[in-house]
């Protein structure tokens, strides 16, 4: 039978605050275990949580960017369960009145655009980290992360392929990073995604049984895990079996999902309003004030890059891929108003080096000013485009100014007619056959001759000048 897949996504985004959601412990990643805790996040009796204002503002800004309705009356609730990484025996979360509801993100898959509806986004605190080592008789707990603010963003079951999920996730990640509310690092777990998916016979309205996938920490694994799970469920159904409602863990080494077996009880969270926290009330004025702090979002910036700079859509997409890159590009264009030339350099030479080094455009060793000086050297014909491309890796690695590199290496372009004439004469003398062909009307040979001149000049000859002089000589 033919089945169609229905996918919804839960994303947990760690908010980029300095301190935790309800206490003043820091939120750094990678510190020694249990060095970032206090009586509040350790769940000591008698302690009281106090809401981090910045986390609330980040949640509202994200909600606005995702076209959500912002709830004016907010309550925090306790989600009760026992687990070693949860010191209080409950997680402070939001249940009935989440901070954001009913938003939408438009994604593009192939040529088609499709809105993915956001059901809700709510604030909560993260749990600690359990460490299970193979062979060890017990587990260990590190509570550094316990209490870190999270925004859980839940979609409606609007996606119907792994590609749509990846497109949505990329768009969401980009938006969060533009807003500077999350660093988007999936490997370190600052952005975690849990797809839930079910199959149903094509044409059937009712959803099939839902399976939740966990332990996915890259875009690649999102796609692989979903595709694996679709195959697995199709096979079970085709063999007349039933899908169990369960959570499955992605195993990236084996490339498969497996039932998560834990000793935990059946989920029954008994949510109730947290009596330790007074309600959170978001006035329309405050919400509007936060709206004014929203940056230009990736989609809008992309459209502006096409409209204002006349860039191809592809360039605009690549350049707005990260806020840092888009900022870099615009800094260059302000100094050197030839957008397409700048775009070619940023997307080509610069991006190649940045990707190789795994560095963000914000930390590029070649500043926009330096890149522009290089482009100006080409513009003024001090060096050829070819030389500029050749010295770029050195420019990147050495931190030297382009002028200095050109001078040290003696790469200044030769435009002097006397010097060029000498080389041209030699080339004409050596390539008798081609010269005859050209003179016989085969003009395409000119390119070959120009190439020979460039070669003998060590790439330093000014190609425009060479062209001009060569034509004159050959005619004469």
Partner 1 sequence: MKITKADVEHVAKLARLEITEAEQDAFSKQLSAILTYVEQLKTLDTAGVEPTATVLEQTNVFREDKARPSLSVEKALANAPEREDGHFAVPKIIEER
Residues of this chain that bind partner 1 (CB under 8 A): 17-19, 24-27, 32-39, 42, 50-56, 75, 80, 82-84, 130-132, 136-143, 258, 260-263, 265, 268, 270, 273, 275, 277-281
Distances (CA, A) of 446 to 420, 443, 457, 469, 473: 16, 6, 17, 11, 12
Question: Which CB atom, from 20 or from 301, has the smaller least distance to partner 1?
Answer: 20
In the complex, what is the shortest distance from the CB of residue 50 to partner 1, in angstroms, rounded to a whole number?
Answer: 5
In the complex, what is the shortest distance from the CB of residue 265 to partner 1, in angstroms, rounded to a whole number?
Answer: 6
Give the contacts of 439 (CB within 8 A, at least 6 positions apart). 474
Question: Which CB atom, from 48 or from 433, has the smaller least distance to partner 1?
Answer: 48
For residue 90, count CB atoms less than 10 angstroms from its CB and return exposed for 0-12, middle for 13-18, buried for 19 or more: buried
State how far the Cα of 59 lies from the Cα of 44, in Å rounded to an integer: 27
Question: Which CB atom, from 280 or from 351, has the smaller least distance to partner 1?
Answer: 280
Question: Which CB atom, from 132 or from 205, has the smaller least distance to partner 1?
Answer: 132
Helices 463-475 and 432-439: crossing angle in degrees, nearest 10, is: 70
> Tokens 């998916």 belong to which residue?
197
For the sheet containing 272-273, what is the strand order? 90-93, 77-80, 272-273
In the complex, what is the shortest distance from the CB of residue 72 to partner 1, in angstroms, rounded to a whole number?
Answer: 11
Give the CB-side neighbour count of residue 110, counting CA atoms within 13 A. Answer: 4
In the complex, what is the shortest distance from the CB of residue 260 to partner 1, in angstroms, rounded to a whole number?
Answer: 8
Sign, CA dihedral 162-305-383-435, equals: positive
Question: Which CB atom, from 24 or from 362, has the smaller least distance to partner 1?
Answer: 24
State how far the Cα of 326 lies from the Cα of 343, in Å rounded to an integer: 10
Question: Which CB atom, from 131 or from 357, has the smaller least distance to partner 1?
Answer: 131
**Which bin fits 135, alpha (ψ -120 to 50), beta or left (φ > 0)?**
left
* DSSP conformational letter for 362: G
Query: Phi and psi (nearest 5°) for 240?
Result: 80, 10
Question: Which CB atom, from 260 or from 421, has the smaller least distance to partner 1?
Answer: 260
In the complex, what is the shortest distance from the CB of residue 177 to partner 1, in angstroms, rounded to a whole number?
Answer: 19
State how far the Cα of 21 lies from the Cα of 26, in Å rounded to an integer: 10
State how far the Cα of 137 lies from the Cα of 181, in Å rounded to an integer: 39
- Cα dihedral angle (89, 91, 95, 101), rounded to 10 degrees? -170
Question: Which CB atom, from 81 or from 219, has the smaller least distance to partner 1?
Answer: 81
State how far the Cα of 162 lies from the Cα of 147, in Å rounded to an integer: 32
In the complex, what is the shortest distance from the CB of residue 262 to partner 1, in angstroms, rounded to a whole number?
Answer: 6
186 closest CA partner among 394, 377, 439, 14: 14
Kind plus residue range of the DSSP H or E element containing 468:
helix 463-475
Question: Which CB atom, from 132 or from 432, has the smaller least distance to partner 1?
Answer: 132
> Tokens 């070649």 belong to which residue?
366
Question: Which CB atom, from 33 or from 324, has the smaller least distance to partner 1?
Answer: 33
Question: Which CB atom, from 25 or from 449, has the smaller least distance to partner 1?
Answer: 25
State how far the Cα of 463 lies from the Cα of 465, in Å rounded to an integer: 5
State how far the Cα of 101 lies from the Cα of 363, in Å rounded to an integer: 36
């Amino acid at each position: 039978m033919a089945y169609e897949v229905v996918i919804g996504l839960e994303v947990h985004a760690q908010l980029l605050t300095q301190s935790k959601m309800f206490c003043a412990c820091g939120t750094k990643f990678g510190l020694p275990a249990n060095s970032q805790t206090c009586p509040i996040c350790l769940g000591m009796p008698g302690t009281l949580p106090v809401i981090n204002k910045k986390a609330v503002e980040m949640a509202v800004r994200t909600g606005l960017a995702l076209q959500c309705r912002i709830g004016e009356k907010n309550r925090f609730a306790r989600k009760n369960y026992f687990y070693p990484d949860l010191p209080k025996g409950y997680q402070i979360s939001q249940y009935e009145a989440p901070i954001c509801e009913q938003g939408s993100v438009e994604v593009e898959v192939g040529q088609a655009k499709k809105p993915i509806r956001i059901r809700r986004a709510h604030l909560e605190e993260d749990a600690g980290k359990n460490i299970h080592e193979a062979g060890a008789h017990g587990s260990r707990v590190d509570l550094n992360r316990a209490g870190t603010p999270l925004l859980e963003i839940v979609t409606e079951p609007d996606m119907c392929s792994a590609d749509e999920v990846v497109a949505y996730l990329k768009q969401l990640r980009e938006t969060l990073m533009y807003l500077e509310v999350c660093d988007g690092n999936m490997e370190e777990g600052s952005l975690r995604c849990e797809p839930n998916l079910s199959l149903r016979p094509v044409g059937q309205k009712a959803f099939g049984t839902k399976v939740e996938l966990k332990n996915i920490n890259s875009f690649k694994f999102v796609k692989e895990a979903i595709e694996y799970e679709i195959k697995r469920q199709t096979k079970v159904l085709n063999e007349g079996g039933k899908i169990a409602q369960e959570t499955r863990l992605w195993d990236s080494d084996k490339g498969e999902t497996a039932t998560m077996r834990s000793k935990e009880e059946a989920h029954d969270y008994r949510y109730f309003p947290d009596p330790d926290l007074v309600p959170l009330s978001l006035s329309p004025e405050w919400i509007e004030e936060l709206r004014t702090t929203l940056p230009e979002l990736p989609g809008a910036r992309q459209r502006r890059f096409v409209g204002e700079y006349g860039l191809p859509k592809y360039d605009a997409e690549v350049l707005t891929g990260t806020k840092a890159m888009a900022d870099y590009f615009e800094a260059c264009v302000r100094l050197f108003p030839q957008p397409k030339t700048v775009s070619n350099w940023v997307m080509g030479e610069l991006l190649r080096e940045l990707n190789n080094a795994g560095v963000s455009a914000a930390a590029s060793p070649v500043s926009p000013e330096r890149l522009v000086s290089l482009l100006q050297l080409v513009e003024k014909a001090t060096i050829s485009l070819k030389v500029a491309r050749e010295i770029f890796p050195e420019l990147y690695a050495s931190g030297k100014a382009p002028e200095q590199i050109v001078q040290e290496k003696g790469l200044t372009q030769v435009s002097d007619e006397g010097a060029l004439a000498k080389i041209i004469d030699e080339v004409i003398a050596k390539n008798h056959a081609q010269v005859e062909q050209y003179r016989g009307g085969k003009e395409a040979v000119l390119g070959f001759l120009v190439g020979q001149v460039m070669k003998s000049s060590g790439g330093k000859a000014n190609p425009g000048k060479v062209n001009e002089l060569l034509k004159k000589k050959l005619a004469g």
